Amino acid sequence: MSAARAVRTCAHAPYSRFRVGAAVIDESGKIHAGCNVENASYGLTICAERSAIAVAVAAGAQRILGVVVITDANPFGTPCGACRQVLAEFADDDALVVLAGPRGATTVAHTVGELLPHAFRL
């Protein structure tokens, strides 16, 4: 939660002004954080969740056990469809996706399988 909150301050979101911080925990207990990185060519934007997953993979992670996503959306921001599919590549259906606001006082948790039933996996 604190890693996601901290990295959210680094978000590059000059177009939407919607800052997102994400942190994943890998199979060895290491935490990897990422934020959204927008671009003037809007479609090139990278979401916080995929950013965190890329950081984790680059650090040697092979599995993701859980994710925290922090936004200031009300009630909570949930991962977009693309991020759900990318997450499903590294996380089991029962992995937790915890959604929180910037202060993190209230959270809600879903599983990967709830967010993306019947995920495509090879």
Residues that bind ligand THU (CB under 6 A): 13, 16, 18, 20, 36, 38, 45, 47-49, 79-80, 83
> Cβ contacts of residue 63 below 8 Å, gap of 6+?
26, 27, 90, 91, 92
> What is the smallest separation between the CB atom of 26 and ligand THU, expressed in angstroms?
19
> What is the smallest separation between the CB atom of 91 and ligand THU, expressed in angstroms?
15
Where in 16-118 does DSSP place strands (E)? Answer: 21-26, 31-35, 64-70, 96-100, 107-111
- Report residue 96 as tokens: 């937790």
Query: Backbone dihedral region of 102: left (phi > 0), alpha (psi from -120 to 50 degrees) or beta?
Result: alpha
- Report residue 71 as tokens: 């936004």
Q: Residues 27, 38, 49, 89: which is the catalytic one?
A: 49
Of 47 and 95, which CB lies nearer to ligand THU in the complex structure?
47
Where in 55-106 does DSSP place strands (E)? Answer: 64-70, 96-100
Of 28 and 39, which CB lies nearer to ligand THU in the complex structure?
39
> What is the smallest separation between the CB atom of 108 and ligand THU, expressed in angstroms?
15
Of 28 and 117, which CB lies nearer to ligand THU in the complex structure?
117
User: Is 38 labeled as catalytic in the residue annotation?
Assistant: no
User: So which residues are the catalytic ones?
Assistant: 49
